[in-house]
Structure 1
Amino acid sequence: MSAPVDPPHAKFWPRRLPRALTVPETSLWFNLEVSAARYPNKDCLIFFGRRYTYAEVLRQAEALAGWLQQHAGVRRGDRVLLYTQNCPQHVIATYAILRADAVVVPVNPMNRTEELKHYITDPEAKVAICSAELAGYMDAASAALPPAQRLQHLLVTRYADAMPAQDDPQDAPPPAMAEWLRADPPLPAGAVRWTDAIASGMAPGAHTARPDDLAVMPYTSGTTGLPKGCMHSHRTMMHNVVGGSLWSQGGADSVTLGVVPMFHITGMQYCMHTPIWGGSSVVLMPRWDRELAGRLISRHRVTHWTCVPTMVIDLLGSPNMDRFDLSSLTYLGGGGAAMPQAVAERLHERYGLLFAEGYGLTETAAPSHANPPERPKLQCLGMPFFGVDSRVVDPETLRPLPPGEVGEILIHGPQVFLGYWRKPEATEAAFVEIDGKRFFRSGDLGYTDDEGYFYITDRLKRMINASGYKVWPAEVEALLYKHPAVQEACVIATRDAYRGESVKAVIVLKDAARGQTTGADIIEWARQNMAAYKYPRVVEFVDALPKSGSGKVMWRLLQEQEDRRAQAA
């Protein structure tokens, strides 16, 4: 019997790391219990200067778990909605739900009444925990449903409940944010205040969740239809919690900037579960603000920052960059979009930081691929994560493709989700069996290089066909970032009577370039720097690109707007 052949990336795998992980046979809740026993007086969460020790987070989570079980009637396996921005209460509520052996259903705080109905009815949720400014939407959504489908309990918290009584100028939020954080809108009828639930003193029953029980059910946005619940067990989540900590060399002396939204799988893992597993401190930000981020990194000596590249681009555009001290950062990485090469080079030249891009989906509990921090490649997804078998295949025939050839990325690994909640047909369509293994079909197009690193070209359905030439928008966007006047760019298809489709660039200019740079300037520069079929024929300037709650540019929204304009014309 011949020895197994190592994949090409094996020779570049960090020598400090195992190739596969031994994951604990315990629940996510147990991670908090262990860290609180080890570091009871250490800061777990820091929120505008208010510090929560591990012992305090544990105490509040247990108290809230008791309230969920005894007052709200939450039982093992019940789904509980969690609808807030990043704040200590989001972390405490997550662990309280887990302590109660229930399932966390995180909801994007950008969702409103009509959208929320689906999040109540699909998982059959009877309890929701939300922040005060969002409570009205959740209450209205529930009231609009038939009585049997409505929420039975609504727990409401104010962000100010977790803030110091007096602002410290070094930690204080900007004035506009402070007004929003300290607001106290009326409570919906029948709702319970967070502070009252915590103070009720109800003790939870025994914690009985097992590794293969459902722990978290985030919903995917999807390209069509209503969002689908992704079923993740404690085991599938735990794999990337442990792996992420090892990969980034995190630990009890690390300080994480928690700004990626925790309703999103990346923020959930790397701003909450991974730091708590390692006993790290998390500096929480409820919303992105570049000046606040710069102050907090400097003030709290942040070491680990997982982010969306748009955040780095925005921070580097701050007029106060020279006042910020980024010298404490030892790990800077993220995903959701490619880091423009020009921005990555600036980070390295000025701050000595290598941006480690990663790749993953809600279905893979965050990363399935990652760049080793010691040897990252720009504009690259990295190599398959711990224990992952990933392949590039022809989307139609599933034939494996050689390096350099574009196909669909397939993923088999310990962190892959169990399936879509109560959608067996969608689950079946999402998987394919090859060599006796169950592979998840990512829907993303990419290729590998000769060293086994993976690259993405685009979503399977996001391609521009210009006179028969295939144009991958992500590639054009990466090139546009090299233009000195471009702050942000999103590339979409526009109708073309001759070519069928043509390339359109929606661009945010840097402040200094506004009024100085024209669309013709951008097009001419692109013509000189891109293949003839690839460069944008149309340029539209906007003040800002629409972004999702997780910070990703909403290219589909821009594409739909463009399609409507074309139909009207």
Structure 2
Amino acid sequence: MPMPHHPHWPPGLPLHLTLPATNLFDNAAVSAHRYPDKPFLIYYGAELSFAAFHDEVTRLAGYLENVCGVKAGDRVLLYLQNSPQWVLGYYAILRANAVVVPVNPMNRSDELAHYVADSGARVAIAAQDLLPQLRDHLNPEEQSEPALHHIVVACYRDHLPSEEQEREAPTGLRLPDFVAEPRAAIEGPGLHAWRDAIAAALAPGPLTAGPEDLCVMPYTSGTTGHPKGCMHTHRNAQSTGVGGMHWFARTQDAVMLSVLPFFHVTGMAGGMNGPLFLGATIVIMSRWDRETAAELMQRHRVTSWQAISTMVVDFLANPRIGEYDLSALNGIRGGGAAMPEAVAAKLKALTGLNYVEGYGMTETLAATHINPPQRPKPQCLGIPVFDVDSRIIDPTTLAELPQGETGEIVTHAPQVMQGYWRNDAANAQAFITLDGKRFLRTGDLARIDEDGYFFMMDRLKRMINASGFKVWPAEVEALMYKHPDIHEVCVIGALDPKRGETVKAFVVLKPERMGQVSAEDITAWAHDHMAAYKTPRLVEFIESLPKSGTGKIMWRELQERQAELDRG
């Protein structure tokens, strides 16, 4: 049945997309066969061809199987910054018929404990700069309690230009300190140096995982205190990786700047999986740097860039931005937070390009809605992409609402997860059945305009959007309750001119500690125990938290009080 958005569909594209019925790893094998000598990864001047990528992935998979004991269906943690090793590790885990558990490199030891315990992972791949956070959870002798038995440790510098290459042709690029760090000695039970794993040249067994087997399990939080694993199959991953490339008419000659984090589903699908399927080249940055980004765009003739609004704001604020040749750019896309119209206008004046926004979730492994590139609307989620059935319902009655009314987005699509890992209660709340089909409840409130475009209006879920990162207050609160001086805490969102929203904590101290602990003390402690983007930037001490008659903390009252302050 024709839908209101069909007249605005990207020209020449079908409404239905046939997906590869294969393991995601097959995309690496196919591209290595088709384009063996073509660069796949470019990392601060060093290039890795598709053939070399395939070879290193296969060697690492052999080591995971033969030395670390990884078996089909095992979960393996992947804990690095954006780097060639992140991509290599991801596909090596898949080649070993296992399941990738991507972990935010900003997560600290306390947060990692849940990932290890909940996923049941016994093996991890980590970077040497992050090893101190993960090492607390390594216990090769422990057979019953949750613990890691093996960690393969990578050094980013191993995939930079060699010292000889740098002498002959200096790149002149500014490197993050952790990327330039020399290789450290890796010693101790259960620890394995990446270089040794590759040098061992062990062969993996047959590739047996198929399209319906689990592929990747990113974690997301919500109204409860602990993150939940989203179970995605190889078919789910093919849907967003392949679909995104077709939507934007990308070809194997595309050169993409991959600076959005690979652990996040947007960077994973659009900055890694999609380009590998095509045989396109990705230029990797481990940390955002506006001058390095502009230099890489100019040097490598970057054609497309995925970004969040805060990156674009910083990029345009570079006083030297007009000196760079950005003429190869033919597409800039993103999501996570709406792009301010003034910023989008400035970007278009510089590049001649519209910023094309989209919408997705960890539960959908990236986008379910994207603006048509030829007809985007500003501050808009876009239209449902290939084979996506999205509707607006009344969140209470679950009745479908007419065009123009605000309600909850529910989605039936090939990229929707199979469910939350070992969490039947959460699954019961996350899914409903409409017209005989299973729909995911997003918790996001939106409306559909007369052209079938979706516009975000509000959120049902209690969530803070800080620079595009989702912060779930319940998770932050659960971590903050470990502070020895905190009696009670409630976390809300506050307006921030740069981040959009920031994290604020209302703290009730234990009686004997009142007047002896500062807001700075709380923030410093939080920074040591959780990812930086979750850390409360604002702390307000209060004598007691507002509570309902049943004793439940009334966070909405505090949120509304803060909103009044933000409005001035």
TM bracket, shorter-chain basis: 0.7 to 0.9
Q: Find the counterpart in structure 1 of residue 440 from structure 2.
A: 440
Provide, for residues 27-70 of structure 1, a one-character-per-residue CA deviation record: whole Å limited to 9, x for no partner: 10000100000000000000111100000000000001111111
Q: Cα gap change, 1:226/1:503 in structure 2, threshold over 3 Å: closer, same or farther?
A: closer
Higher mean C-alpha deviation, range 424-433 or range 186-195 = 186-195
> Partners in 2 of 1:563 and 1:244 — Cα distance?
46
Q: Find the counterpart in structure 1 of residue 160 from structure 2.
A: 163
Question: Within 5 Å, which residues of 2 pair with 1:204-283?
Answer: 204-283=204-283
Counterpart amino acid of residue 210 in structure 2: R
CA contact (8 A) 1:48 1:172 kept: no
Q: Cα gap change, 1:78/1:272 in structure 2, threshold over 3 Å: closer, same or farther?
A: same
Q: Find the counterpart in structure 2 of residue 103 from structure 1.
A: 99
Provide, for residues 255-302 of structure 1, a one-character-per-residue CA deviation record: whole Å limited to 9, x for no partner: 010101001111111111000000000100011111111111111111
1:46 correspondence with 2:42: yes
Provide, for residues 485-510 of structure 1, a one-character-per-residue CA deviation record: whole Å limited to 9, x for no partner: xxxxx9x9xxxxxxxxx99643249x
> Partners in 2 of 1:445 and 1:562 — Cα distance?
30
Q: Cα gap change, 1:63/1:357 in structure 2, threshold over 3 Å: closer, same or farther?
A: same
> Partners in 2 of 1:555 and 1:84 — Cα distance?
18
Displacement after TM superposition at 1:403 (Å): 2.4
CA contact (8 A) 2:28 2:276 kept: yes
Q: Find the counterpart in structure 1 of residue 321 from structure 2.
A: 321
- Unmatched tracts of structure 1, length 5 or more: 464-472, 479-489, 493-501, 510-547
Displacement after TM superposition at 1:351 (Å): 1.6
TM-score by length of 1: 0.81
Q: Cα gap change, 1:200/1:115 in structure 2, threshold over 3 Å: closer, same or farther?
A: same
> Partners in 2 of 1:554 and 1:202 — Cα distance?
39
Q: Find the counterpart in structure 1 of residue 290 from structure 2.
A: 290
CA contact (8 A) 1:101 1:207 kept: yes
SS in 1 for 2:100: strand
1:59 correspondence with 2:55: yes
Q: Cα gap change, 1:11/1:68 in structure 2, threshold over 3 Å: closer, same or farther?
A: same
Q: Cα gap change, 1:129/1:303 in structure 2, threshold over 3 Å: closer, same or farther?
A: same
Q: Cα gap change, 1:376/1:409 in structure 2, threshold over 3 Å: closer, same or farther?
A: same
Q: Find the counterpart in structure 2 of residue 181 from structure 1.
A: 180
CA contact (8 A) 1:114 1:141 kept: no
Question: Within 5 Å, which residues of 2 pair with 1:499-510?
Answer: 505-508=495-498
SS in 2 for 1:30: helix
Q: Cα gap change, 1:414/1:450 in structure 2, threshold over 3 Å: closer, same or farther?
A: same
Counterpart amino acid of residue 158 in structure 2: D
CA contact (8 A) 2:73 2:97 kept: yes
Question: Within 5 Å, which residues of 2 pair with 1:457-496?
Answer: 457-461=457-461
CA contact (8 A) 2:310 2:498 kept: no
Counterpart amino acid of residue 323 in structure 2: R
SS in 1 for 2:360: strand
Provide, for residues 448-472 of structure 1, a one-character-per-residue CA deviation record: whole Å limited to 9, x for no partner: 1111000112221459xxxxxxxxx
> Partners in 1 of 2:107 and 2:493 — Cα distance?
31
Q: Find the counterpart in structure 2 of residue 426 from structure 1.
A: 426
> Partners in 2 of 1:134 and 1:218 — Cα distance?
19
> Partners in 2 of 1:556 and 1:444 — Cα distance?
24
> Partners in 1 of 2:235 and 2:6 — Cα distance?
25
Amino-acid identity (%): 46
Displacement after TM superposition at 1:567 (Å): 5.5
Provide, for residues 184-239 of structure 1, a one-character-per-residue CA deviation record: whole Å limited to 9, x for no partner: 44535221100000010111111111110001001013243110000000011111
CA contact (8 A) 1:133 1:185 kept: no
- Unmatched tracts of structure 2, length 5 or more: 474-491, 500-526, 547-557, 559-568
> Partners in 2 of 1:144 and 1:378 — Cα distance?
53
Provide, for residues 54-102 of structure 1, a one-character-per-residue CA deviation record: whole Å limited to 9, x for no partner: 0000000000111111111111101111000011111111111111111
Displacement after TM superposition at 1:310 (Å): 1.1
Higher mean C-alpha deviation, range 393-402 or range 70-79 = 393-402
SS in 1 for 2:136: helix
SS in 1 for 2:344: helix
CA contact (8 A) 2:368 2:385 kept: yes
Displacement after TM superposition at 1:144 (Å): 12
Provide, for residues 128-148 of structure 1, a one-character-per-residue CA deviation record: whole Å limited to 9, x for no partner: 000000111111133599663
Displacement after TM superposition at 1:240 (Å): 1.3
**Which of 18, 30, 34 does residue 34 from structure 1 map onto?**
30
CA contact (8 A) 1:120 1:142 kept: no
> Partners in 2 of 1:376 and 1:267 — Cα distance?
21
CA contact (8 A) 2:101 2:217 kept: yes
Provide, for residues 314-335 of structure 1, a one-character-per-residue CA deviation record: whole Å limited to 9, x for no partner: 1001122112222111111011
1:450 correspondence with 2:475: no
Q: Cα gap change, 1:283/1:241 in structure 2, threshold over 3 Å: closer, same or farther?
A: same
CA contact (8 A) 2:129 2:178 kept: no
> Partners in 2 of 1:442 and 1:503 — Cα distance?
20
1:86 correspondence with 2:77: no
Counterpart amino acid of residue 3 in structure 2: P
> Partners in 2 of 1:366 and 1:100 — Cα distance?
24
1:25 correspondence with 2:21: yes
1:151 correspondence with 2:148: yes
Q: Find the counterpart in structure 2 of residue 192 from structure 1.
A: 192
SS in 1 for 2:63: helix
CA contact (8 A) 1:135 1:187 kept: no
**Which of 130, 133, 136 does residue 137 from structure 1 map onto?**
133
Provide, for residues 414-471 of structure 1, a one-character-per-residue CA deviation record: whole Å limited to 9, x for no partner: 11000000001111110011111111000111111111000112221459xxxxxxxx
> Partners in 2 of 1:503 and 1:64 — Cα distance?
42
Q: Find the counterpart in structure 2 of residue 68 from structure 1.
A: 64
Q: Cα gap change, 1:62/1:222 in structure 2, threshold over 3 Å: closer, same or farther?
A: same
Q: Find the counterpart in structure 1 of residue 334 from structure 2.
A: 334
CA contact (8 A) 2:141 2:149 kept: no
1:13 correspondence with 2:9: yes
Q: Find the counterpart in structure 2 of residue 375 from structure 1.
A: 375
TM-score by length of 2: 0.81
**Which of 119, 124, 129 does residue 128 from structure 1 map onto?**
124
SS in 1 for 2:497: strand
Counterpart amino acid of residue 39 in structure 1: Y
Q: Cα gap change, 1:554/1:140 in structure 2, threshold over 3 Å: closer, same or farther?
A: closer
Q: Find the counterpart in structure 2 of residue 114 from structure 1.
A: 110
What is the aligned residue count?
A: 490
> Partners in 1 of 2:99 and 2:495 — Cα distance?
42
CA contact (8 A) 1:117 1:145 kept: no
